[in-house]
């Protein structure tokens, strides 16, 4: 089983999939598994390996899924003595499990492979993102049109969640050609786990999009998840400047930065 875990870890690297590695790091007394026992927990909740089964494993699995959401490791300690007081077992020992989220390079998906989309893809690649381009116009969704992209998804926006796995580490940047494209595709994206959804355009265009989505039954509260107009207010005009604005906002949110000038004493 250990070899299977290591092979699965290598596969995560090659397929850019997330998972959480759970390792028994310390035991004392009677416990269901020995130290170094390992379990992988995938984003859909499926597992490979075991840290002991039963309620102990169920609790570790839940913490592993939470670590894939917030990207933070966990050191879990359990006493296996008295289920009546909340312990996950009764074999009498103590066990510690370290949970480590294994996250691929963050994925930035540019939807709309035109001038701004191309500039966003170029800057995102330089910043270390894995970059994908999606466009329902096949001619914009090629390595010739967008040489900085790693993957291409020539599908309508609404079908994008079916074409790739969208995780909390995925940023969706919609540099689309009009509100009608956004209205048709955003409901599917809002059902995904994307960590960032941004839509290009003026406030007027976004207000038009909001009204149309409200008519589909999508509440303003749900739409607050979307960043539009996209980017930070740096007075950007050219595609390259707009790309800087967009990536600055994404980095700000990823690092919990303030977005203020560094010389601001506050």
- Cα 136 to Cα 38, 62, 133, 161, 247, distances in angstroms: 43, 38, 10, 14, 23
In a domain, 261, yes or no: no
* Domain membership flag for residue 266: no
Indicate if 78 and 132 belong to the same structural domain: no
- Threshold 0.85, pTM exceeds: no
Using CA atoms of 232, 242, 136, 108 in order, give the dihedral in degrees to the nearest 10.
-60
Residue 226 domain flag: yes
User: Would 262 be classed as within a structural domain?
Assistant: no
Cβ atoms of 72 and 98 within 8 Å: the answer is no
CB 7 within 8 A of CB 13: no
Pair (94, 159) in one structural domain = no
Domain span at residue 47? 2-102
Q: What is the pLDDT along the chain (266 residues), one digit of tens a residue?
A: 567 999 999 999 888 889 999 999 988 877 767 888 899 999 999 999 998 878 888 899 999 999 998 889 999 988 865 455 554 555 667 889 999 999 888 899 999 989 999 999 999 999 999 999 999 999 999 999 999 999 999 999 999 999 998 988 899 999 999 999 999 999 999 999 899 999 999 999 999 999 999 999 999 999 999 999 999 999 999 999 999 999 999 999 988 888 888 887 76
- Is 264 part of any domain? no
Domain termination site, one of 83, 102, 121: 102
Write down the pLDDT at residue 2: 60
- Residue 179 is part of a domain; what is its CATH number? 3.40.50.720
Contact 65, 164 (CB under 8 A): no
* CA angle, 172 then 206 then 136, to 5°: 45
| Alpha-helical segments (H) within the chain | 2-15, 54-70, 115-126, 160-163, 179-190, 203-215, 220-223, 239-255
Q: What is the pLDDT of residue 81?
A: 58
For residues 191 and 213, give the distance between their C-alpha atoms in angstroms, rounded to a whole number.
14
Q: Domain boundary at 102, 127, 147, which?
A: 102
The helix (H) or strand (E) run that includes residue 109 is strand 107-111
In this structure, are 124 and 96 located in the same domain? Answer: no
Same domain, 40 and 133: no
Question: Reduced to 3 DSSP states, what percent helix, strand and coil does the chain have, rounded to the nearest 5?
Answer: 40, 20, 40
Domain finish residue from 67, 102, 137: 102
CA distances (Å), origin 112, targets 70, 75, 138, 172, 241: 28, 42, 11, 11, 17
118 and 72, same structural domain?
no
Alpha-carbon gap, residue 130 to 202, rounded angstroms:
28
**Number of folded domains in the chain?**
2
Residue at 86 is within a domain: yes
User: What pLDDT is stored for residue 205 in this prediction?
Assistant: 95
Q: Are residues 90 and 114 both part of a single domain? A: no
Q: Distance of alpha carbon 87 from its chain centroid, rounded?
A: 32
Token reading at 83:
């289920």
Neighbour count for residue 39 (Cβ, 10 Å): 26
- Residue 81 sits in the same domain as residue 125: no
Question: Regarding beta strands 130-134 and 151-153, do their DSSP bridges make them parallel or antiparallel, or are they unpaired?
Answer: parallel
Indicate if 51 and 78 belong to the same structural domain: yes
Co-location of 78 and 120 in the same domain? no
In terms of domains, do 128 and 179 share one?
A: yes
Pairing of strands 38-42, 47-49: antiparallel
* Residue 38: its H or E element: strand 38-42
- 30, 138: one domain: no
Q: CA 3 to CA 18: how far, in whole Å?
A: 19
Q: Is residue 16 part of a domain?
A: yes
In a shared domain, residues 148 and 69: no
Alpha carbon distance 194, 107 (integer Å): 10
């Amino acid at each position: 089983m250990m070899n299977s875990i290591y092979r699965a870890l290598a596969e995560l690297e090659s397929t850019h999939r997330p998972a959480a590695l759970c390792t028994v790091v310390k035991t004392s007394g009677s416990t269901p598994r020995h130290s170094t026992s390992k379990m992988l927990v995938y984003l859909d909740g499926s597992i490979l390996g075991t840290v002991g089964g039963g309620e102990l494993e169920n609790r570790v699995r839940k913490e592993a899924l939470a670590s894939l959401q917030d990207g933070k490791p966990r050191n879990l300690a359990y006493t296996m003595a008295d289920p009546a007081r909340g312990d996950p077992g009764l074999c009498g020992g103590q066990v510690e499990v370290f949970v480590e989220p294994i996250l691929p390079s963050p994925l930035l998906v540019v939807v709309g492979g035109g001038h701004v989309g191309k500039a966003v893809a170029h800057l995102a690649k330089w910043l270390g993102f894995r970059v994908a381009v999606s466009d329902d116009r096949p001619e914009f969704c090629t390595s010739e049109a967008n040489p900085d992209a790693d993957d291409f998804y020539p599908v309508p926006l609404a079908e994008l969640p079916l074409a790739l796995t969208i995780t909390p580490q995925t940023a969706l940047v919609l540099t689309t050609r009009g509100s009608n494209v956004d209205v048709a595709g955003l409901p599917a994206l809002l059902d995904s786990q994307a960590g960032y959804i941004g839509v290009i355009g003026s406030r007027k265009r976004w207000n038009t999009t909001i009204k149309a989505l409200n008519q589909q039954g999508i509440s303003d509260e749900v739409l607050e998840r979307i960043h539009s107009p996209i980017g930070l207010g740096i007075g950007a005009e050219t595609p390259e400047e707009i790309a800087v604005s967009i990536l600055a906002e994404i980095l700000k949110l990823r690092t919990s930065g303030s977005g203020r000038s560094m010389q601001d004493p506050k």
